[in-house]
Structure 1
Amino acid sequence: MATILAIDADALAVDPLWLVGRLREGHRQGIGVVERLLLEEPGAPNGLLTWTAWQPGAALGAKLAAVFPGNEGRGAGPNIRSVVVLFDGRDGRPQAVITGESFTRAKTAADSALGADLLARPDAATLAVLGAGAQAEMQIRYMLAVRPSIRRVAIWNRTADKARALAAALSVPGVEIGAVEDAEAAVRAADIVSCVTASRTPVLRGAWLKPGAHVDLVGSFTPEMREADGEAMRRARLFVDTRRFAVGHCGEFTRAIAAGAITAADVVAELAELCAAAVGRRSAEEITLFKNAGGGHLDLMVARAFHDLAVGRAQQS
């Protein structure tokens, strides 16, 4: 039996631009078949999210992610812990088991960064990040990679101390990174707004967005979770990584549709369509919004990338 690689994502240094490039190429190759299963703990926000995907002839795999939103707040470790299994798409042979919190963080950040690279203004200079949890640092690093024009990062969090701690931990030459206590002021000044919270009530108001802003929504994955209000959805030109999961499962869409602020038809394109054609930003003044809803195809593309990287480094050693 061939060796199954055990890959620790936390020990695998990954170049953000390389991974964004792998996601771009993966979408051009085709998504294949994707399924999602969410088990929720009765009376609690905890869940087990299972993503499966199959790119015929190339690879298939599954990611199991235990999502416990209260972990970080009570010192119980990361909110999300995952295990990924990768199979060869030609014969079904198991190739790798991937662990480590960095896997999902890198996948999520690369997904958003690819969306921003295709939609945000090329001269974006200010990034506002709403949320200072475990995902926020990776989100910032990947956004800076695809938009090196950014010179200021403002971090807001409901618990101000967490925003200050994250700002103090980050150091990027030529970039001013600081914590702020006024989310509205930070958003009004921002060219890119990234929301990385587990909020069930909007942390982003559409009235705050300036012309030309790009919005990156990351946190919600159930109809009860919602980071942006209906006005943000109404004002923006809407894009998603995957229509099926964003429109059907994420509260920004389900609630805005129920309220009549938008319709499902207002989604212009999903990520594969963005990668294949020029259907993105139409002007410097347009507000764009990208919903990072996730999907097993994204996990599969990143698993293939991590596997290739691990194999290549093993061969060099």
Structure 2
Amino acid sequence: MGGTGDDLSGLLVLGGDEVHARLSYEAAIPAVREAMIALSDGRVRQLLRSFIGLGEGRTFAIMPAALSERGVFGAKLISVFKHADGSKAHEGLVMLFDPESGAPICLADAGAITAIRTAAASAVATEALARPDADTLAILGTGLQAKAHALAIAKTRRLREIRIWGRAADRAETLAAEVWGETGVVARAAALPEALDGADMICTVTSAVDPVLEAGMVSPGAHVNIVGSSGPAQAEIAGDLVAAGRFIVDHREHVLAHGGEFLRAKAAGLVDDSHIAAEIGEVLAGARPGRTDEREITLYKSLGHAAQDLAVAAWLYQNVTGRTL
């Protein structure tokens, strides 16, 4: 805990190392699951993310939310900067406020929270949408989210094999060795066609601006998490795959405004707004169906939301202080 003045004397400050030390996927997954149900059933109030461009490959975003009328509220302030090697860094803060006094009570490293809660959200979606017998995971990308997704999904699925593809083969090899060592699941680097051949579950966690995955590359019955693209100018999957799959989103309003894959497919006349089959919170709550048959391709578009960040920050605050919010 820390603070710089009387008004901030009770402020809990959590750096990235402490977030990673305390926040396990076992803790994050149920917190994110409940946050997504609450987002879909109206217990969360949040605004569209606000973006300020800071030049090529540089963005500052503000994401506010309130978890319920009398629950915790706050915001994430984050910068997303693209590095020379194509990777992206998420840096910022999650600020949590007390629901009774209105005072700020927790300030946490947003990069660390984002890394964990994003993968936790994909694990939740995969558990809900992938076939019950799905056991082969393909990960497209070699950054922080690639590893996080392997670790998180291994917590909710009994995996037989993890295949990792990246433009830099050596990074894919290194990541595969790390994932195998930490999960105990056979993990190997693979060329893109080999990684996708018969894969039951696919995560796109790249920094690609244009699609790396098309409909003809995905096996019938597969589930795809579309995660790496976070704005309207980026698309990791092609319009033909958007149109071919059952398209489920984390939040309808945000995807209609910022979901690059959906917006490109819509602009091409391949889909209209009715193609969004459900929000994942509706599926989790049983209000709408997820997968409808074994050969259906299910798609989960993840943009990430302040509701997830605040739910995880609230868990961290309670874990550290013992105080229930």
- 1:50 paired residue number: 62
SS at match of 1:79: strand
Q: 1:91 to 1:272 in 2, by over 3 A?
A: farther
| 1:245 and 1:294 in contact (8 A); partners too | no
What are the ranges of 5 or more consecutive residues in structure 2 without an aligned counterpart?
Answer: 1-6
Within a 5 Å distance, the mapping from 1:1-80 to structure 2 comes to: 1=7, 3-11=10-18, 12-29=21-38, 30-42=43-55, 44-55=56-67, 56-70=69-83, 73=85, 79-80=89-90
Deviations, residues 109-131 of structure 1 (Å, cap 9, x unaligned):
11111111111112211100000
Deviations, residues 126-171 of structure 1 (Å, cap 9, x unaligned):
1000000121111110011111x21101100011121112112221
Deviations, residues 248-291 of structure 1 (Å, cap 9, x unaligned):
21210110000111112111111221221151111221110000
Shift of 1:301: 1.4
> How many positions carry a matched residue from both structures?
308
Q: Distance in 2 between matches of 1:248 and 1:35?
A: 8
SS at match of 2:162: strand
Percent same amino acid among aligned pairs? 33
Q: Does 1:140 align with 2:117?
A: no
Q: Distance in 2 between matches of 1:110 and 1:34?
A: 22
Shift of 1:188: 2.6
Shift of 1:205: 1.2
Q: Does 1:239 align with 2:248?
A: yes
Of 264, 268, 274 in structure 1, the residue corresponding to residue 277 of structure 2 is 268
- 1:122 paired residue number: 132
Please tell me the residue identity of whatever aligns with 1:219.
G
Q: Distance in 2 between matches of 1:230 and 1:188?
A: 20
Within a 5 Å distance, the mapping from 1:208-223 to structure 2 comes to: 208-223=217-232
| 1:35 and 1:53 in contact (8 A); partners too | no
Shift of 1:185: 2.6
Q: Does 1:112 align with 2:122?
A: yes
Aligned structure 1 segments of 4 or more residues deviating by more than 4 angstroms: none
| 2:78 and 2:110 in contact (8 A); partners too | no
| 1:34 and 1:295 in contact (8 A); partners too | no
| 2:33 and 2:121 in contact (8 A); partners too | no
- 2:105 paired residue number: 95
| 2:37 and 2:280 in contact (8 A); partners too | no
Q: Distance in 2 between matches of 1:86 and 1:218?
A: 25
Q: Distance in 2 between matches of 1:144 and 1:173?
A: 7
| 1:17 and 1:146 in contact (8 A); partners too | no
Scaled by the length of structure 2, what TM-score is found? Answer: 0.89
| 1:9 and 1:98 in contact (8 A); partners too | yes
Q: Distance in 1 between matches of 2:142 and 2:298?
A: 23
Q: CA RMSD in A?
A: 2.0
Please tell me the residue identity of whatever aligns with 2:138.
A
Q: Distance in 1 between matches of 2:159 and 2:240?
A: 26
Scaled by the length of structure 1, what TM-score is found? Answer: 0.91
Deviations, residues 5-41 of structure 1 (Å, cap 9, x unaligned):
1112432333313311112223344222333111112
Shift of 1:299: 1.4
SS at match of 1:35: coil
